[in-house]
Chains A and B, each alone.
Chain A
Amino acid sequence: MRVGIPKVLNIWSTHQFWVGFLTALGISPENIVFSSDTSEDQYREYGKGRGTVDCCYPVKCMSGHYGELIFGQKKKIDILLSPMIYSLPSFLRGHVLDTLTCTRVMAGPENIKAGFLKERDVFAENGIRYVSPFVSLGEPEKVPKQLHLALKDVLDLSEEETVRAVEAGYRALETFNQRMRQKSREILTWCARHDRPCILVLARPYHMDPGIGHEIEAELQAHGFPILWMQYFPIDEDLMHWLFGEEIRAGRIKSPFDISDVWPSSYSSNTNEILWGAKVAARCPWITCVIRFSSYECGMDQPTYTPTQKIVEASGTLYFKFGDLDATKPAGSIKIRVETIVHYVEKYSRDIIRRKLAALPPRCPLLEDAASTSESAPLAA
């Protein structure tokens, strides 16, 4: 049994769950196939003519991923699994109103599948079962039922098996996230110890896809600046307490993960995280620069542009936005902007670090960290 998963949208932040879940059901890892990174070629070859509507690029490119899994595999897949992810297991859960996905993220599969069904059933023609479970990953108690319902016939599942597999999925995801956060902490510690700046990326998880985020952060990294992704920022208590403790004591927020001071309508998971990331960036001394990615026609990001920028810039932290990203990499303009960013980061980081440090309590846990004192610069999380 081979299962193909289109590597799109919030699969980027939950893929470990799906791998953990499926392997727990006895599907070997080599039989879990993810589509490749997004590319113009992928869309041209496999997705063209299957789009049903004009919308943001991260959704539009999904047809290419579906097509690649259907037509582009040497060893055919039996199941195309494209979950409708309704909510996410965010670290902000419990501190925000909800952790829903974007309405296009949750409904994307319904939209894209239409392109493969409107004339004839392309899945059936290729001997593939299309499975699209509706799944509230933000509410783990609902997930076994939801996945059992969607997959019981296809994978011949019992309820107990599903419960166990879901648990394994969450464990795998958690382990992965923790590892990534640990890595980020090491980077941040290195920056703190060497009084060096790093750059924080504020973006949706799928901007990690080279075809969607266009690896802009890699160009900055090539200039020697360590890069952190907000999704994997370390959330250890000591660090959070150092960054937010004062404000909690002053009653401005209830916890380090409370974003109600900047974003009262905290329904959307990735949006909440972006706003939280902006708050962290405004406070953490060694983050002297934020780069924000946003895709062409992203409706979720639109209301956040100004608040995010204001949050970051309130502490003098540099802020640069790369908006309207779509299929083509604007290499020329990226190059020019990267040079500008490098210039500013080099020129102002010392001051920014100093100013932000002065606004925080003296004992920084990173400087007290015994762990990770590597002398060579770790570059990316």
Chain B
Amino acid sequence: MSKSKQLIIIDEELCTGCGRCKDVCPVDAISGIHGEPHKIDSSRCIFCGQCVQTCSAYSSILDEPETPRADKLRERGMFQSTTEPLFAAYCAGDVFEISDALKSDKFTMVQCAPAVRVSIGEDFGMKAGSLTPGKMAAALRRLGFNKVYDTNFAADLTIMEEGNELLSRVKNNGTLPMFTSCCPAWVRYMELNYPDLLPHLSSCKSPQQMSGALFKTYGADINGKQRTEIYSVAVMPCTCKKFESARPEMSMEGHRDVDAVLTTRELAYMIREAGIDFESLPDEDFDKPLGTYSGAGNIFGVTGGVMEAALRTAYELVSGEPVPETDLIFVRGEEGFRIASMTMGEQTFKIAVVAGLTNVAPLLEKVRAGNAEVDFVEVMCCPSGCISGGGQPKVLLPTERDEVYRCRKESMYSHDKNSKIRKSHENPDVQKAYTEFLGEPLGHTSHKLLHTVFGKQDA
């Protein structure tokens, strides 16, 4: 998507002006008079898509539409075969562009975020939270992707980089607390509203961007391709990932790390359009090495997950011993703001987990005043983390939403529990990537490919 294109849109013909989107928007980007079509101010919008998940004003077959459904589908970037109802608030899609790339002679690589495998089955009539990594990999192969990799690999890599970054900040009196930078909606929020606190953000690119950067370097080498031959696609639970991938700093020598992003919903459209019967697909593996992952990488998709994954590795880095208990229950939970501490060897780290951006401002004010008293903070824009992202299958009734999110979350944790490797630093292909290509965490190559400088955004 190009930056000038509006990403999150309210269809004026369908909006009834109920204002429920306005209530759910964490940054007051939506305005409108009750009963009249509402508008999104894209200079404030952080593209989280929570308004898209909430809106229930739909185009009814009983009303004569001003614009025919076929035109609306085209405008929204949806296939004509799509049967789902159209709601007023939506995210502009990219399926046409990606279908074209799959038909071209580009070498296509795709990555899937952790939260996609616990929800995509829902759009094919499966139970809430159905865990389908194998079917998803199979479907992507049937769609024609040359390599089916996994964002989880880069999530493990993020832990290596971010964990070491935290320790180096602690050791060298760097800026603390350090905030996670994997949620692009959170990063944009910070850039727009707290630019003075940007040094507190980790310099790590998000796992999506780390994957993309590796695809076009390490991945290109492995597959005997040039950077220019590769088209890199990400499947994400998040609408803001489309924005993130288009940021100018997320590219090398004029080539974007990630060329296009599909939301979970859009991947489901593509699977249907291709006539693939998702439920009957066999379970297939992700391609190696950029598709190998640990349980820690997988739990990035839930609130507290990044923190838990980081602590599993940090504990060992600091104390030299494996963490006594892999399940760090104290960082899990539902509350929008949670605080805890963990002792590693001689040191005690104070951590905080924020889920839902409306909960972050009080902490940021404290940081500004210099009395936050935490070392490391995970922030996710969406209320339950990525499993509740704006690009996820849209749960039709809010009365069912909590239960569906609970099921998705349970699947995430059971996927972690059943993984043979549960700590990022034990991922053998991550270790290999460091010896063969990256050198060491925070080293020269990782610095160039996996880190960035976040800046003040023009709207």
A and B part of one assembly? no
- Interface, chain B (partner A; CB < 8 A): none
- Interface, chain A (partner B; CB < 8 A): none
